[in-house]
Amino acid sequence: MKFRASCRLGFSWWFSEMTDLELTVKWGGKEYLIDCLAGENTIAELKTVICQKTGVLPGRQKLLGLKIKGRPANDEVQLSQLKLKPKTKVLMVGSLEESIADVVAPPYDIPEIVNDLDMEEEEIAIENREEFLAKVQKRIKEYDIKILSNPRPGKKLLVLDIDYTLFDHRSTAQSASELMRPYLHEFLTSAHEDYDIVIWSATSMKWIEVKMKELGVASNPNYKILFYLDSAAMISIHTPKYGLIDVKPLGVIWGKFEQYNSKNTIMFDDIRRNFLMNPHNGLKIKPFREAHLNREKDNELLKLSKYLKHLAAVEDISQVKHKYWERYKLVTSQDDGTSG
């Protein structure tokens, strides 16, 4: 094919040069060793080699993390200027020419991008990147969910973090109840009227089960938890701003339960980066720290209970700007369907 031929242009003479660089390119779930480069070669020439190995045209390639003086390096920059460490790994984003015309929609709704999380546009687009969506699909297939209660027809979905969201996990106390966020049980009781509730923590399942038992969440008669998700349900992504991080893609849940989607799911977490795969469905909650000092004045969960009541009447949660939740008002038929 023509694009294959274009990958070979200007390539044959490289093997006669002295090679003193070695790096690995990660793309499409695979790693490609690049060991035919010298320091005087440019990024453009690197892309030609990558094209030879992967079939992705240089113009379709985006190499993450290659910077010079803190800015993304252009194609004319020599590799020696990047001061790469031995055996550097570079993440590539790009599509094969023959696959571009056959792109299909992801297995769950991807809402229109709205930059409401103070992130760069480049980072927001992460939710649509094929290599990360492939990781979500892998979690859907391989991650085993232990159902604690049955999904209820017509209910929206509330996904909650634990550390600093429901519980101050850094302070010391004689019992977990002393570190529990004020009004936790009242909040969960109220939320359960309109939402099925999932607990998702970036820790082990054993830790989650122990803490939910100690906090009395697992056995409270006024509400039920649908299931727990632990760190194994998360995926790793690379961004220019944060580097390599783990995030919580709601698509793992949406792929396993047809009832839930971007229109009826809201997630609370004290770490905004966890929303990178779902920027329209995340609400950054004020972290609950120093429980002994803040117990009397923290009423975050009471305020969020009211917000959840308003959201329960909204047809598409992803169209609400959750960044402004504290001044949210219930939309009326005269409104345009958004808030803020």
- Which CATH number goes with the domain that contains 311? 3.40.50.1000
- Residue found by looking up tokens 């927001």 in the block: 124
What b-and-e string marks burial along 109-130, b requiring 16 or more CB atoms within 10 Å of the CB?
ebbeeeebbebeeebbebbebe
In the numeric block, which tokens belong to residue 97? 């020419």
Q: Are 152 and 34 in the same domain?
A: no
Q: Is residue 25 domain-resident?
A: yes
- pLDDT at residue 201, as a whole number: 95
Q: Are 177 and 285 in the same domain?
A: yes
Q: Are 79 and 211 in the same domain?
A: no
Q: Are 133 and 235 in the same domain?
A: yes
Q: Are 135 and 214 in the same domain?
A: yes
Strands (E), 28-78: 30-37, 62-64, 67-68, 71-72
**Percentage of residues in the chain having pLDDT higher than 90:** 45
Q: Are 6 and 58 in the same domain?
A: yes
Q: Are 162 and 207 in the same domain?
A: yes
- pLDDT at residue 305, as a whole number: 96
Instruction: Please tell me the total count of domains within the chain.
Output: 2
Structural contact between residues 156 and 311, judged by C-beta atoms closer than 8 angstroms: yes
Q: Are 66 and 156 in the same domain?
A: no
Q: Are 93 and 127 in the same domain?
A: no
Q: Is residue 104 domain-resident?
A: no
Q: Are 305 and 200 in the same domain?
A: yes
Query: How large is the greatest C-alpha to C-alpha distance in the chain, in angstroms?
Result: 74
- The C-alpha atoms of residue 145 and residue 124 are separated, in whole angstroms, by 28
pLDDT at residue 101 greater than cutoff 80? no
Q: Is residue 87 domain-resident?
A: yes
244 bridge partner residues: 238
User: How many Cα atoms within 13 Å fall on the side-chain side of residue 227?
Assistant: 15
The CATH number that applies at residue 52 is 3.10.20.90
**pLDDT, tens digit, for every residue of 251-291?**
999 999 999 999 999 999 999 889 999 999 999 999 998 88
- Residue 294 burial by Cβ neighbours in a 10 Å radius (0-12, 13-18, 19+): middle
- The C-alpha atoms of residue 122 and residue 312 are separated, in whole angstroms, by 31
Over residues 41-49, the mean pLDDT reads 88
Q: Can you give the residue range of the structural domain that contains 64? A: 2-97
Over residues 121-126, the mean pLDDT reads 51
Q: Is residue 53 domain-resident?
A: yes
Question: Tell me, what amino acid is at 125?
Answer: A
> pLDDT higher for 158 or 51?
158
Q: What is the pTM of this model?
A: 0.62
Structural contact between residues 266 and 159, judged by C-beta atoms closer than 8 angstroms: yes
- pLDDT at residue 231, as a whole number: 94
Q: Is residue 338 domain-resident?
A: no
Q: Is residue 108 domain-resident?
A: no
Q: Would you put residue 70 in left (φ > 0), alpha (ψ -120 to 50) or beta? A: left
Structural contact between residues 312 and 330, judged by C-beta atoms closer than 8 angstroms: no
- pLDDT at residue 329, as a whole number: 58
> pLDDT higher for 23 or 151?
151
Which alpha helices (DSSP H) does the chain contain, by range? 2-7, 43-54, 97-100, 121-124, 130-142, 184-192, 205-214, 251-256, 291-294, 300-311
Q: Is residue 339 domain-resident?
A: no
Q: Are 18 and 161 in the same domain?
A: no
Q: Are 159 and 12 in the same domain?
A: no
